[in-house]
Amino acid sequence: MITEVLTVAAEAGESDHNPIIPLWQEVVLGLIAFSILCFVLMKFVFPMMEKTFAARVDAIEGGIKRAEAAQAEANQLLEQYKAQLAEARTEAARIRDEARADAEGIRQDILAKAREESDRIIGAGQEQLAAQRESIVRELRSEVGSLAVDLASKIVGESLADEARSRGTVERFINELGPAGSAGGRR
Amino acid sequence: MTGQSTVLAAEVPFPPKVEDFYLPSILPWGEHNSYWFTKITALLWISIAIIIIFFLVSYRKPALVPTKKQWIAESIYGFVRNNIAVDMLGKRGINFAPYLTTLFVFILLMNFWAIVPFAQISPNSHIAFPAVLAVISYVMFIYIGMKHHGGLKYFKHALIPPAPWFILPLLIPIEFFSTFLVRPFSLAVRLFANMFAGHMLLLVFTLGGFAMLNANVWFAPFSVVSWVMTIALTFLEFLVICLQAYVFTVLTASYVQGALADEH
């Protein structure tokens, strides 16, 4: 490429301009223009871009950090809730057990009371029955005596009236009784 | 450009000459040996203005969530910063990224005039501008080297490679030649020659088409081929434009890298 340029330059030697000899006016202008460009871009534009890049990285990393913090907080809350839930569950189980025990106790109590009551009622009934039986027996006894006497007297009277053959017996009985027999006969 | 403006004239200047690169001055109008205000310098100022206005406008109110314009400006800077400066210089590259980006954008736009309709010549096809940039790069890497290694120690470091003593008399002149003599010229001439040759090629094929047409009407199909070639070469020229801007920036970064290197 350089040789190509040199040959072109050699041909150009015949004309007014040599393309590999810089024009000093253009050098000056190029220097000024490029300096202005460098000054503006390197002072006002690219440092701002670096700042923006840094801010962007910061924002993204900050975002990640915030997300991590939120995640950690959420996890902590979850743990807390789980612990609370477990606590509540054991509490509920305990209460249920207690209630069951209470109910059992109450049932036993009531049963015992009922049994006692029934025993009491049965006892009272039996006592009453016994008393009634006693009195009935007593009554019956006295009544049976008189009834027997009545019946006996009736039987005796009948036989006296009806059967002539028993006359001798009655007379004998009366004779045996003597004076006492008259008193007994009145009775 | 001159070719197109004289399309209808019977005489088409062919082949194109070096003088085609030195257009008459704009102010004073038509002067041939006044260089303060020519098409070239006008394009220079327009380039500067476009770049400054673009960056200032698109970065007037930088936001964390960029707008489209801001994003484009950031992408340009980010490209040079991350793909050239940080890639080659590591963390220290961030300090050089602003200059390298300025350099890249400036060369790119200056080159780009080569294929912009009605401009169609790059100021970089005048060696003055590449030379200025190359000298800045040259002074910069030597200054950075001296600052990093401490004054003249830099030259000792740069010139004396770790080699057996008997080979040093051979190596030192080579190192000196390649590092301190050739670098600015190769930088400047590479860019200048590419833009010069690109413009010359486009001129040859454009003017050649007219020249053939003027010589004989039966050559018209060849003229058409020639103009189609011009279009194809314009695309090639676009590639060269981007590539040369990139190469200049990368080489400057690489020279700085060499100056900052602690070992050979």
Q: What is the value of ipTM here, to two decimals?
A: 0.86
- B31 near A CB under 8 A: no
Q: Which residues in chain B have Cβ-Cβ distances shorter than 8 Å to A5?
A: 189, 192-193, 196-197
- pLDDT 10s digits, B96-139: 999 999 999 999 999 999 999 888 899 999 999 999 999 999 99
Biggest CA–CA distance in chain B, Å, is 71
Q: Å from A79 to nearest chain B CA?
A: 37
User: Which of the four pLDDT bands, split at 50, 70 and 90, describes residue A14?
Assistant: very low
Contacts of A40 in chain B (CB under 8 A): 52, 55-56
Asked whether the beta carbons of residue A40 and residue B74 sit closer than 8 angstroms, the reply is no
Record the tokens describing residue B187, joined without a space: 């930088």
B17 to A1: CB separation less than 8 angstroms, yes or no: no
Are A1 and B194 within 8 A, CB to CB? yes
**Considering only CA atoms, which of B88, B12, B226, B36 is closest in space to residue A33?**
B36
Q: Among the residues of A13-45, which ranges form H helices?
A: 24-40
- A43: its two tokens: 């002072």
Per-residue pLDDT of A30-86, as tens digits, reads 999 999 999 999 999 999 999 999 998 989 998 899 999 999 999 999 999 999 999
Domain boundaries, chain A: 21-137
Name chain A contacts of B101, Cβ cutoff 8 Å: 41, 46
Structure confidence by residue, pLDDT tens digits, B181-228? 999 999 999 999 999 999 999 999 998 888 888 888 888 889 999 999
d(CA B13, CA B15): 6
- Answer left, alpha or beta for residue B24, where phi above 0 means left and psi between -120 and 50 means alpha: beta
Where residue B35 falls among pLDDT bands split at 50, 70, 90?
Answer: confident
Among B39, B43, B15, B21, which Cα is nearest to B206's?
A: B15
Q: Give how far A73 is from chain B: nearest CA, Å.
A: 28
Distance CA B97, CA B105 (A): 12
pTM of the model: 0.69
Please identify among residues 95-134 of chain B the ones whose CB lies closer than 8 Å to any CB of chain A.
97-99, 101-102, 105-106, 123, 125-129, 131-133
Determine the Cα–Cα distance for residues A141 and B84; give it in Å rounded to an integer: 141
For residue A78, report the phi and psi dihedrals to the nearest 5 degrees.
-60, -45
Q: Is A57 an 8 Å CB contact of chain B?
A: no
Chain B residues near residue A44 by CB distance under 8 angstroms: 56
For chain B, give every domain's residue range.
2-260
